[in-house]
Chain A
Amino acid sequence: MPIIELKEISKIFGFGDATTLALDEIDLVIEKGEFVAIMGPSGSGKSTLMNLIGLLDRPTYGSYKLGGKDVSRLRTNQLAKIRRDRVGYVFQSFNLLPRLNVLENVALPLVYKGVGANKRIKTASALLERVGLSDREYYLPKHLSGGQTQRAAIARALVNSPDIIIADEPTGNLDSESSRVVMELLSDIHKLGNTILLVTHNPELTRYVNRVVYMHDGVIVHDENTPIGEVPKLARKALNLFQRKTEEDDLAGVSALMKAIPTKHTTKKPRAKAKKPTSRSKSMKRIKK
């Protein structure tokens, strides 16, 4: 059963001359329990897509069904409640509240749900144990290492038992060892049946996922399933083609990769919203399992 169904989703930012077409008629279906990596150069619309899926933002056009229910036209408060109950966010910059200790941070979503204090502490505490931070419950975020902070953030994302977890470049600020720990954690969560969307520039991380979606200029240009434990064909190409050293190399690699994909869309100029389901966009649809 698909948990996420996007149909001809477009997102336009700005007005008049300053408009940006961040997403251009995206069609995307994600099944429950999938672990999907979203790759693509900077500015290709990955975060915009994640914000829409995570209900932090609304599409300009198109329809979005979450768990079979149309959520593309809901009001702000309803969106907040769905976010609270069904979505867990993991950010690149961690985004823990600096004044709350780790336990309070993890328990915060439950506060908004109206869960009592005892239950909140128990649940949050259990999750911190799961991410290996039991001994850091009363630390402030600033006293944690980057990897620990991100694990706390993952615990927070899990505290409401969400249907989907959205991780937008969760390892972007981490060293490789911390990245590995965080990815192992996400992988464990995935194995327990959670649906996870992961934005990353690092092709190596795709070995944890079962599907990779490639974006460019607001369009999904490629979409492939891949066995867990393997870096898929295209991503491996990037891996082999470039000696990765820094984050920038990563970006360069992904960009070069995109250009390597033999489709004409790469030269496409950003255009105003136009309703024309081209053969190109159809051809880009993911190959069903």
Chain B
Amino acid sequence: MSITRNIRSAAQSLKYSKWRSLMTMTGVILGVLSVITIVSIGEGVKRQVVGQINLLGSDLISVRPGNLVTRDKNGNIVKVNQISSFAFGSGSMSDSDLETIKSSSGVKTVVPIGLVNSGVKLDDVQYNQSLVIATNDKFPAMLKQTINHGVFFDDTDSNKHVVVIGKRVAENLFAENVPIGRTLTIRGVEFVVIGVFEEFNYSPLAYGTDLNQAIAMPYAAGQELTGHNQLAQVLVRPESVDQTTAVIAAINKKMTLAHGGQNDFTVLKQDENLSVVSNILKVFTAFISGVAAMSLLIGGIGIMNIMLVSVTERTREIGIRKAIGATNRQISEQFFVEATILSSTGGAIGIGLAFVINAVLRIVTHLNPVISLEVVLISAGVSIALGIVFGVIPAVRAARKDPIEALRYE
């Protein structure tokens, strides 16, 4: 019996019980869907980080509170200590840390990112989605960010009550693209909008922090609001790119000294973001892969189960086929192909849905997931293999049926 004939006949009998076939495939569908989705999100994130590194340059250094990573003796990151501590603003440094960093040798520019924990108000409308930061006039240059409308504050504005806002804040809060000259209230103090950022394509401060929701005010103004600034991060550029490593070493040394030998801060090179992200993704990917593997296993067992039921239900059919001359092998092939079609159809549906989810994620999030050909091929392969492995027992059982007893089966 030819393979195409087998496939057509199998498709026919699966179509005959569409609903049951679909239920049976659920495990495989979900398994494939979740694997592809998580891998594609990871891939998208990595690509974004690479893009960010290319844009910002590998000489951008960031200093953050907390001991975030573990390094080997060559200084390579081997482990991310606590994923949650990578969230923006999970700890803070002080103004004296800022001075320590500034005075390290080889440092050219320093941009503090102070966190002003506050919602903002426009007239009586409260807006909590924004990220209110206090920084200095070098902020746009440091992040290679342009101002779309208006201007960024310069050093003469350092204690004026002005803000530059992200695109999303303009749209969502002011409901206009250029709300320059309008005022909003932060902690009871009125601030005048003097500029709107061009759209941020990356999240240079911390992954998942959307700078399009930023409201940036001069550093001194922030200090005035909060008493003393909570430094969530300090961005540094060395005098030249080849000095990057040396500057990092200098900052590390000075900071450790200033902290009495304690390593409760982390200095990261921009291009180390990739290994940080990879490390974080590894944990998620491992978890989701485990769930997906379970789902696939359950899917496989489900297929075996339903095929066994089908073999029993179709006992008479098997008897008839044998009576008219089907060999045991031809009978087993039929059920084997059916199991494989079931699993690979599940895989195909899973892959299809993954593309749908991918499109949706691209629209509603800024994750930009990327489905690679590789992951599609692997998923397809795994689905087919699943049917082959779990189709064996039903196929053998079908082939072994005694023709006379099978013909008598009601």
Contacts and interface: CB of A to CB of B under 8 A. Distances in A.
Given A99-B13, A111-B5, A77 B329 contact: yes
Contact of A160 (B2, B325, B329): B325
B177 interface: no
Interface in A65-106: 76-77, 80-81, 83-85, 87, 89, 91, 95-97, 99-100
Contacts of B16: 99
B1 A109 contact: no
Contacts of A57: 403-404
B330 A56 contact: no
A111 B317 contact: no
Given A56-B403, A56-B404, A112-B1, A97 B327 contact: no
Contacts of A114: 1-2
B384 to A, nearest CB: 24
Interface of A: 51, 54, 56-57, 76-77, 80-81, 83-85, 87, 89, 91, 95-97, 99-100, 108-109, 111-114, 117, 156, 160
A100 to B, nearest CB: 8
Interface string B198-218: 000000000000000000000
Interface residues of B, number: 23
A95 B406 CA distance: 12
Nearest to A100: B12
Given A56-B403, A95-B323, A97-B317, A76 B328 contact: yes
A57 B402 CA distance: 9
Given A89-B323, A97-B317, A112 B330 contact: yes
Contacts, number: 65
B21 to A, nearest CB: 14
Given A56-B403, A56-B404, A95 B320 contact: yes
B326 interface: yes
Nearest to A156: B324
A111 B326 CA distance: 9
Contacts of A95: 316, 319-320, 323, 407
B12 to A, nearest CB: 6
Interface in B318-365: 319-330
B40 to A, nearest CB: 39
B326 A112 contact: yes
A262 B149 CA distance: 119
B153 to A, nearest CB: 77
A113 B149 CA distance: 79
17 contacts: A56-B322, A57-B403, A77-B329, A80-B322, A80-B325, A80-B327, A81-B325, A81-B327, A84-B325, A89-B323, A95-B316, A95-B323, A95-B407, A99-B12, A108-B324, A112-B325, A113-B325
A140 B319 CA distance: 19
Interface in B297-326: 316-317, 319-326
Interface string B70-87: 000000000000000000
Contact of A89 (B316, B324, B329): B324
Nearest to B324: A109
Nearest to A47: B404
Contacts of B324: 83-84, 89, 108-109, 112, 156
Contacts of A85: 325
A95 B324 CA distance: 10
Interface string B15-26: 010000000000
A85 B325 CA distance: 8
B323 A83 contact: yes
B321 to A, nearest CB: 7
Contacts of A76: 327-328
Contacts of B330: 112
B3 to A, nearest CB: 12
A156 B407 CA distance: 17
Contacts of A117: 5
Contacts of A77: 327-329
Contacts of B404: 51, 56-57
A113 B2 CA distance: 10
B5, B316, B327, B330 — most chain A CB neighbours (10 Å) = B327
B323 A56 contact: yes
A80 B407 CA distance: 15
Interface in B353-410: 403-404, 407
B320 to A, nearest CB: 5
Contact of B320 (A84, A97, A111): A97
Across the A-B interface, the 5 shortest Cβ-Cβ residue pairs = A84-B325, A80-B327, A109-B324, A95-B320, A83-B325
A114 B12 CA distance: 19
B323 to A, nearest CB: 5
Contacts of A51: 404
A289 B329 CA distance: 43
A247 to B, nearest CB: 19
A167 to B, nearest CB: 13
B407 A111 contact: no
Nearest to A80: B327
A54 B403 CA distance: 11
Contacts of B320: 95-97
A81, A91, A112 — most chain B CB neighbours (10 Å) = A112
B316, B321, B323, B407 — most chain A CB neighbours (10 Å) = B323
A80 B328 contact: yes
A114 B319 CA distance: 19
Contacts of A112: 1, 321, 324-327, 330
A205 B133 CA distance: 102
A54, A84, A87, A96 — most chain B CB neighbours (10 Å) = A84
A54, A56, A87, A91 — most chain B CB neighbours (10 Å) = A56
